[in-house]
Structure 1
Amino acid sequence: MDRSELKTVLSWASDEGWNPGVSDADVFHAADAGGFFLTCVDGAPVASVSVVNHDSENSFLGLYICRPEWRGKGLGFATWQFGIKHAGSRSVGLDGVPEQESNYSKSGFVKTGSSLRHEGRLGARKSHKVRSFERKDFSALMTLDGRANGFKRYRFLEAWLTEELGKRETRVLVQDGTIRGFATWRACRDGTKIGPIIAPDLSASVELISDIAVVRSDGPLIIDVPEENGELRRELESAGFTVPFVTARMYRGNVPETRHTLQAIATMELG
């Protein structure tokens, strides 16, 4: 699908309550232009899936949607089967809704954990250690992200880290002259999502989130936290964050070796 069709699919995602970013279409498409698939009936789009190849060994599946009036006819699964071929022999990850977990299992996916959506507000505090992303930072952030996620995703980060005024910005944590972490915020249909958050510990994560809260003062902050990151989950929940839903993180093939520095994922659609 092209960018305009992807915008249509993201509007479906909004209808499903997934609350995508207002400029997600361009960034997602830049990550792997050939990784977005659409089924049409009589020229009308009815089902979608994305299978984004991040590198030669790792893909991520998302945007698996069939319009309500077309469900139960096999069109969604046919789209899935066609799209997943794009991954080839790569390992494929996904964040799936609980209702579909058994279906994903039938396609060879195994649950490895969960991603928990957190929504709320954290105290806003400007940090002298946090600044805006600069192009010269790219290599360092690429390395940090690759270590945290277990693989590098060059095309995705190249687009994700590029600022769009009022829509998306990356904040960089610098300690003793060394880049120690970063977080990207993006404006959504409702509130602001923050992710990924790559940081060495809880204190650094909170510093990044609190700094972003200064700029994004309206609406909820939305952070998707891996199940195993109990420290950040407890910190957010003690501050009043709610957990409106949980997804199953599943993989078909080898599971990337993530590190504790993956404080929050970038997006449930692309990993």
Structure 2
Amino acid sequence: MTGLEIAAASAADMEMLRGWAEAEAWNPGDTDRFAFAVADPAGFLVGRLGGDPVACVSAVRYGDAHGFIGHYIVRPDLRGRGYGIQVWNAATERLAGRLTGLDGVVEQQDNYRRSGFRSAWTNLRFEGVPRPAGDDDGGDGGDGAGVETVDAASLPFARLAAYDRRFFPAPRDAFLSAWTSLPGRTALAAVRDGRIEGLGVIRPCAGASRIGPLYAAAPEVAAALVRRLAGYAPGGEVSVDAPDVNPAAAALLAGLGLVPSFETARMYTGPAPEVDTAGLYGVTSLELG
């Protein structure tokens, strides 16, 4: 356990860490690392032994009072030797004094509870090819009940950022700007009478293309966004991490023919922040919230 050096990840490290996440079957986005880097340039930590990376974690600061931990991985051949707890402690120290969240895999949740985290909700990942509009899925026929879906880039960014703040407890403008505009991604907004009533972003991955965030004023709006976004996915296969704090999210995705494949828990070090959970159909990122 001695000799571990912990420092902020380099650009080359971020590419390596994507490979680690893929090996864990987390299906990371092909370009997520570029948005992660601008969210907090010092927010990803790597532990090294003799210069060789052995463990990593994200500890991203948002604003003055919020933080998020994720991407907690120890190299499989070096697990059980105490390296993970050392990078974990470095992460919690970096976020000391902040309300900190994470999305924890099932096998780690007891450890997180021992570190003071408490469950706020469960995220259930749904995957598959959405049924077409008009199938017997309880949907709205695909028109989103009169909303128009537009390229999110056609709207003033300040409006998108303000809308995002309804669903996330801190400003994250730099991250959001990159997340919605990186090459290969598609960001669609649902608009009605000039108001934003939904937002969805799809990004390419090694497996199913992932949609996140997925915000919507109503299930039919979310359904319209999912169907439109699936048109940008190879084979139409998509993946959404749906929070059970909004029961309509799981019901909608199951109705579209998607099936559960993976589970995490959103946990916080204090009371869960107040956000518009009724409009939250898919979380943005398990690494950054």
CA contact (8 A) 1:124 1:214 kept: no
Which of 118-127 and 147-156 deviates more? 118-127
For residues 34-81 of structure 1, the C-alpha deviation after alignment (integer angstroms, 9 at most, x for no partner) is 111001112111100001112211111100000111111100110110
CA contact (8 A) 1:198 1:261 kept: yes
Q: Secondary structure at the match of 2:231?
A: helix
Q: 1:256 aligns with which of 256, 273, 281?
A: 273
Write the letter of the residue equivalent to 2:185.
R
Instruction: State how far apart, in whole Å, the 1-side matches of 2:76 and 2:10 are.
Output: 22
Write the letter of the residue equivalent to 1:195.
G
CA contact (8 A) 1:32 1:155 kept: no
CA contact (8 A) 1:57 1:89 kept: yes
Q: Does 1:178 align with 2:199?
A: no
Which residue pairs with 1:156 in the alignment?
A: 175
Alpha-carbon shift at residue 217 of structure 1 (Å): 4.6
Size of the aligned set, in residue pairs, is 269
TM-score by length of 2: 0.88
Instruction: State how far apart, in whole Å, the 1-side matches of 2:176 and 2:106 are.
Output: 28
CA contact (8 A) 1:197 1:263 kept: yes
Which residue pairs with 1:244 in the alignment?
A: 261
Which protein is bigger by CA-based radius of gyration? 2
CA contact (8 A) 2:130 2:237 kept: no
CA contact (8 A) 1:122 1:239 kept: yes
Alpha-carbon shift at residue 114 of structure 1 (Å): 0.7
State how 1:53-72 maps to structure 2 within 5 Å: 53-72=61-80
Instruction: State how far apart, in whole Å, the 2-side matches of 1:136 and 1:3 are.
Output: 31
Which of 49-58 and 128-137 deviates more? 128-137
Q: 1:88 aligns with which of 80, 91, 96?
A: 96
CA contact (8 A) 2:208 2:237 kept: yes
Q: Secondary structure at the match of 2:47?
A: strand
Alpha-carbon shift at residue 216 of structure 1 (Å): 2.1
Which residue pairs with 1:211 in the alignment?
A: 228
CA contact (8 A) 2:125 2:262 kept: yes
Alpha-carbon shift at residue 124 of structure 1 (Å): 5.0
Alpha-carbon shift at residue 231 of structure 1 (Å): 1.5
Q: Secondary structure at the match of 1:161?
A: helix
- Among all aligned residue pairs of Structure 1 and Structure 2, give the percentage whose two residues are the same amino acid: 33
Which of 63-72 and 249-258 deviates more? 249-258
Instruction: State how far apart, in whole Å, the 2-side matches of 1:157 and 1:189 are.
Output: 22
Which of 39-48 and 152-161 deviates more? 152-161
Q: Does 1:111 align with 2:111?
A: no
Q: Please, which runs of 5 or more residues in structure 1 have no aligned partner?
A: none
- Taking structure 1 as reference, are residues 175 and 32 closer, same or farther at Cα in structure 2, changes over 3 Å only? same
Aligned CA RMSD, in angstroms, stands at 1.6
Q: Please, which runs of 5 or more residues in structure 2 have no aligned partner?
A: 1-8, 134-141
Q: Secondary structure at the match of 2:126?
A: strand
Q: Secondary structure at the match of 2:124?
A: strand
TM-score by length of 1: 0.94
Instruction: State how far apart, in whole Å, the 1-side matches of 2:43 and 2:126 are.
Output: 28
Instruction: State how far apart, in whole Å, the 1-side matches of 2:169 and 2:51 are.
Output: 40
